Amino acid sequence: MTGIAFDTVCLVGIGLINSSLARALRCHNLARRLIALDASETARATALRLGVVDEAYEDAESAVAGADLVVIGTPMGAFPAVGAAIGPYLKQGAIVTDVGSVKTAAIRDLGPFIPEGVAFVPGHPIAGTEFSGPENGFAGLFAGRWHILTPPPGTDDDAVQRMVALWQAVGAQVEVMEPRHHDQVLAITSHLPHLIAYTIVGTAADLEEHLASEVIKFSASGFRDFTRIAASDPVMWRDIFLNNREAVLDVIQRFTEDLTALQRAIRWGEGDVLEQRFAKTRAIRRAVIDAKQA
């Protein structure tokens, strides 16, 4: 893709992901005019001050009425309210997408508000950092990362292809997937790891004070990797767990069974069980490295 892909792009919720997308669109000259819609005055002021967008609004009509592409990047809990707010003002021929982490819920919560003549192409960039807010975005966030699109049946194919081209233009590799399947895959690759990291860091936080300070001091022995994951945005993650409940509960169940088996092996001194299990996971690491995702 070369040249302007969309004349006017509206970014709803100008946080880490949408502010990175705005920078990438600017950097690759993919949009003429960038608009933020955000309820937070601080976020709007920061995005304007840093030149991330050209205009920023609190009211939906001013922000979306002229937009050719609308990208919804708020926490998922806000999706029904965002849908209700922007739906009446969406321009005929516009494309709406989102960057939410649970695709069945995005379709359930936004779909009903998308009028005839507007295409809805849900998406999810597999990219992020433990930082949030428009000041932490950067244009290279999507480079070499996956972007998953999950168009519901009947989505306009031309709109899907335009979104594929746009995400490729900012450096991502694009995959099209069934929404439900996406949610199952992400439950294990992303949602369970985050839940576990939040849990283990929380367990440490609850220790007696002198022990907790030593845990921080000696965190290089494994713990610190979990603290980075557990520093992710609390509201965003609350909404992910509430919206991917069944898939997450299913993988927690599998995980707990596996942990209980290892716990039992430790209690009974079954060294061969532990060693076999630990040896198996090295192959997965090699596969991750081979897939250039390490």
Sites for a second copy among residues 212-241 (CB under 8 A): 214-232, 234-235, 237-239, 241
| Alpha-carbon dihedral sign for residues 29, 35, 37, 41 | positive
Reduced to 3 states (helix: H, G, I; strand: E, B; else coil), residue 286 is helix
Among 51, 174, 197, 209, binds a second copy (CB under 8 A): 197
Among 51, 204, 209, 250, binds a second copy (CB under 8 A): 204
Instruction: Report the residue number, 57 or 255, with the smaller CB distance to a second copy.
Output: 255
Kindly state the smallest distance separating residue 172's Cβ from a second copy, in Å.
11
Kindly state the smallest distance separating residue 10's Cβ from a second copy, in Å.
26
Sites for a second copy among residues 105-144 (CB under 8 A): 126-128, 130
Sites for a second copy among residues 3-62 (CB under 8 A): none
Sites for a second copy among residues 244-273 (CB under 8 A): 245, 248-249, 251-252, 254-256, 258-259, 262-263, 266-267, 269, 271
Instruction: Kindly state the number of chain residues that form the binding site for a second copy, as judged by CB under 8 A.
Output: 91
User: Taking CB under 8 A as the rule, does residue 81 contact a second copy?
Assistant: no
* CA gap 54, 279 in Å, rounded: 53
Tell me the DSSP string of 171-232.
T-EEEE--HHHHHHHHIIIIIHHHHHHHHHHHHHHTS-HHHHHHHHHTGGGTHHHHHHHTTS
Residue 146 structure tokens = 């996956």
Closest CA to 137 of 14, 35, 9, 271: 14
User: Taking CB under 8 A as the rule, does residue 285 contact a second copy?
Assistant: yes
User: Taking CB under 8 A as the rule, does residue 176 contact a second copy?
Assistant: no
User: Taking CB under 8 A as the rule, does residue 99 contact a second copy?
Assistant: no
* CA gap 225, 149 in Å, rounded: 29
User: Do 31 and 52 meet the contact criterion of CB atoms below 8 Å apart?
Assistant: no
Instruction: Report the residue number, 45 or 218, with the smaller CB distance to a second copy.
Output: 218
Residue 32 structure tokens = 């003429």
Instruction: Report the residue number, 25 or 126, with the smaller CB distance to a second copy.
Output: 126
